[in-house]
A and B are shown apart, each in its own frame.
Chain A
């Protein structure tokens, strides 16, 4: 049985077993690299994607729950050559060390900035709390988000 999902603006009919967590569908059937495996339990956020405008852990999101819904991943926000606004800010601040957590960070931050045009520092920190970074890049991640929070996404 197949599942119809809009991903980064395009309709897809996915063939993976509906009981597959979205993370494995993204990385397997769709060969997308952004969302990453970090824990598989919704504790670290490396797998974060945007579902109907909200950040979710794709590692615990069933494919069977996605029928008719709209999904965005970091690939849909921009490319290495033409980064989106938030990606450009991360690039400018060099907000990455190993970089493994960053796609999840960008997805979560994007959802914040779409819902709250100019979030405060406290709001940014609280919003990003579910995502872990082990290298200690938090300071620069906040700087990148703050920059876009001041100017707005568009």
Chain B
């Protein structure tokens, strides 16, 4: 996750109130919690395995590691319009990591977004979701993280402009958006549905991306109605069963665990790393997530029945339209009916892809420009075309694929959208 959009209007409109409240808060700022005396005793392997599971479900590694750096040692830059936040080192190094944090300090960070020494954490760290973890899960995560090898590395300080570099602003933000959890949250969830709700709401923090942000920079409520992250459209999780290709339970599970859904397509963009971590957690957790997601479906805004998917268009590759010509050379080697990926590996046809079915061309453009990179162990890969096709050509391709393959009305202004995304991607 390289780029996180935080509402620009949020800070400006709230600055005044924030300054006042922030000053009050700074005067009453949270107290530091004393450092622990020494390393905690090594817990037994079962505890560690349970802790690893919690941490994988919480997706901590994705933000708290760089691709080249040691796991959990931090350093990943998250770009905002006001500058860059660097994730912290959460290995148990005493000086540069959380090695001297007690369990209460750790708990406070997850429940309240407060660091051991009392400073407020940026909600790029999704404590507004972790806050509702059970005590047991917090303790398991703590035990696991503290058992890891300490890595001594000082990550760069955040590089933010006013007002975001003024942490007490966050106090105000917390008043708006933090609904803290507490010890009363049960440690176990009795049914898959409850387990799924728990995972989606807390550890999975799916709403962080799938809700979009309000003007004041918090997640929109009610959640899961879709948003935009790092330049990608994030689908509404409440609309999964609508449209021409409704998601089924086993497809969701395959997608979340393997990054590839029969009848739909591959995980791309920011969702790809999420599926890589979910590949490591027990299958029953992913099944529970799927169960819960299917339980929160809402009928479409227009209330119309989903249009049946047109029979995959035997789009003629011999069409002389510019888009068809581009497709025949650039795409057909994988995506045409006779291509090995389709004919032998049984991949879903393009028509079923949510990137093509959606109302906005954003995800189509991003996929074409960026491809899907190589990932260890994954059979999904797509080369990037940003340097091959210009924006007009991407638009021509979109026009043909959208109508002749997906059977939907053409998108508008695709070339302009492509140019805009190209510029953003280059940053």
The reply to whether B387 and A60 contact each other, CB–CB distance below 8 Å, is: no
The reply to whether A62 and B383 contact each other, CB–CB distance below 8 Å, is: no
Considering only CB atoms, which chain A residue lies closest to B374 in the complex?
A129
Given contacts A19-B324, A41-B334, A129-B374, A62 and B387 within 8 Å (CB-CB): no
B388 contact from A20, A40, A60, A129, Cβ within 8 A:
A60
Given contacts A19-B328, A51-B387, A56-B387, A40 and B333 within 8 Å (CB-CB): yes
Min Cβ gap B397→A in Å is 9
In the bound complex, what is the Cα–Cα distance between A69 and B414 (angstroms)? 22
Considering only CB atoms, which chain A residue lies closest to B385 in the complex?
A60
The reply to whether A51 and B334 contact each other, CB–CB distance below 8 Å, is: no
The reply to whether B68 and A60 contact each other, CB–CB distance below 8 Å, is: no
The reply to whether A63 and B329 contact each other, CB–CB distance below 8 Å, is: yes
The reply to whether A64 and B325 contact each other, CB–CB distance below 8 Å, is: yes
Considering only CB atoms, which chain B residue lies closest to A58 in the complex?
B388
Min Cβ gap A24→B in Å is 9
Chain B contacts for A52, CB-based, 8 A: 387
Instruction: Indicate whether B322 reaches chain A with its CB closer than 8 angstroms.
Output: yes
Chain B contacts for A62, CB-based, 8 A: 325-326, 328-330, 388
In the bound complex, what is the Cα–Cα distance between A57 and B374 (angstroms)? 16
The reply to whether A61 and B374 contact each other, CB–CB distance below 8 Å, is: no
A60 contact from B322, B325, B329, B390, Cβ within 8 A:
B329
Considering only CB atoms, which chain B residue lies closest to A21 in the complex?
B329
In the bound complex, what is the Cα–Cα distance between A118 and B387 (angstroms)? 22
Instruction: Indicate whether B12 reaches chain A with its CB closer than 8 angstroms.
Output: no
The reply to whether B325 and A61 contact each other, CB–CB distance below 8 Å, is: no
The reply to whether A54 and B325 contact each other, CB–CB distance below 8 Å, is: no
The reply to whether B389 and A65 contact each other, CB–CB distance below 8 Å, is: yes
Chain A contacts for B341, CB-based, 8 A: 41
Considering only CB atoms, which chain B residue lies closest to A23 in the complex?
B329
Chain B contacts for A54, CB-based, 8 A: 387
The reply to whether B326 and A64 contact each other, CB–CB distance below 8 Å, is: yes
Instruction: Indicate whether A42 reaches chain B with its CB closer than 8 angstroms.
Output: yes
User: Could you list 6 examples of A-B contacts with CB < 8 Å?
Assistant: A19-B329, A57-B388, A60-B333, A60-B383, A62-B325, A65-B388
